[in-house]
Amino acid sequence: MQPRIVLIINDRLLCRARATAIAALSLGLLLVGAPLAPAIAQAPAKGVSQPAPKAVPSFWDPRRRPERPDLSRLTVIRFLTETDYPPFNFTGADGNPAGFNVDLARALCEEIKVTCTVQMRRFETLLDAVASNRGDAIIASLAVTPQMRARVDFTDPYYRAPARFVSRKDGVLAEMRPEYLEGKKVGAISGSSHEAYLKVMFTDAELVPYPNDDALRAALRRGEVDYIFGDAISLAFWINGTDSADCCAFSGGPFVESRYFGEGVGIAVRKGNDLLRQALNWALFRVWEKGRYTDLWLRYFSVSPF
């Protein structure tokens, strides 16, 4: 499986989630049922084969519980999402909207106890549709950026797209540090934020630029580079798909750095619609607290980007 997410992420840099770089420690990641240590795999006991636990991102601090707003003034939430951005948004077998974003929207409406509709539109029309009151909220993997904040207000982030290293399976490392990559060939997309990060943080590696994802991944399959560094969500689908030929796996844990890749992905509402924004923030926390967010994440990401 190699969905459109692999292609769209690069094409929509300003409008898509692209959060990478400095350390998973600052993100507060969770393993299902246990805290995630600093992205270091724990070795199983000798002779015991244990599947690696799937990491699930968490962006909510249980000590900062949002106050429940007055929800009586909300009677319906008209969500807008994109037409074709699997696994986040796509048309289901029954012809109805489906995907991670869609299921999350429905869970939020159930929490708020309000009627919910989800309409699919072309990505480039979503902002205008909300501005002209043809919808109330955009849940379509819209990245929070200064440019977007000038047009809409955002909820708290509900996911990010971290950066990760990928190696061939015989070269996997549990942790990635600059000193480990001294003299190693590391591929990245030319002109990308991932390449910029490597130039600053992994100065002793031999950086090899490639024009696109296909060339980058083919180089790793052929052994032309020791590692590649890029968007973990698209890489997760490549690793788990047929195009990788089961060659490769993530090395080390996720990197997130808002200074390079923005604040993450939020739900967008019209400027000044504080009631809806606060209601969605409250519902997001509740959905996470009850474990429903974890259930959704595990359903849609068979290889976790985190």
Q: Express the helix, strand and coil content of the chain in percent, nearest 5 each.
A: 35, 25, 40
| pLDDT per residue as tens digits for the range 141-185 | 998 989 999 999 999 999 988 899 999 999 999 999 999 999 999
The encoded tokens of residue 192 equal 């990308």
What phi and psi, each to the nearest 5 degrees, are found at residue 4?
-60, -20
Q: Is the peptide bond before 87 cis (omega within 30 degrees of 0)?
A: yes
The encoded tokens of residue 199 equal 């130039």
Q: Give the span between the Cα atoms of 161 and 158, in whole angstroms.
A: 11
| Amino acid identity for residue 65 in this structure | R
User: For the chain, what is the mean pLDDT?
Assistant: 83
* Residue 139 confidence (pLDDT): 98
Centroid of chain to Cα 46: 34
Give the per-residue SS3 of 58-99. Answer: CCCCCCCCCCCCCHHHCCEEEEEEECCECCCEEECCCCCEEC
Helix axes 213-222, 232-240, angle to 10 degrees: 50
* Residue 53 confidence (pLDDT): 55
- Residue pair 297/104 in contact (Cβ under 8 Å)? The answer is no
Of the candidates 131, 152, 159, the one whose C-alpha atom is nearest the C-alpha of residue 293 is: 159
- What does pTM read for this prediction? 0.76
* Residue 178 confidence (pLDDT): 95
What phi and psi, each to the nearest 5 degrees, are found at residue 109?
-65, -35
Cβ neighbours for 34, distance < 8 A, ≥ 6 positions apart:
53
* Residue 6 confidence (pLDDT): 32
* Residue 47 confidence (pLDDT): 40
* Residue 96 confidence (pLDDT): 93
User: Angle CA(114)–CA(79)–CA(86) in degrees, nearest 5?
Assistant: 125
For the chain, residues with pLDDT lower than 70 are: 1-55, 261
The encoded tokens of residue 212 equal 């696109």
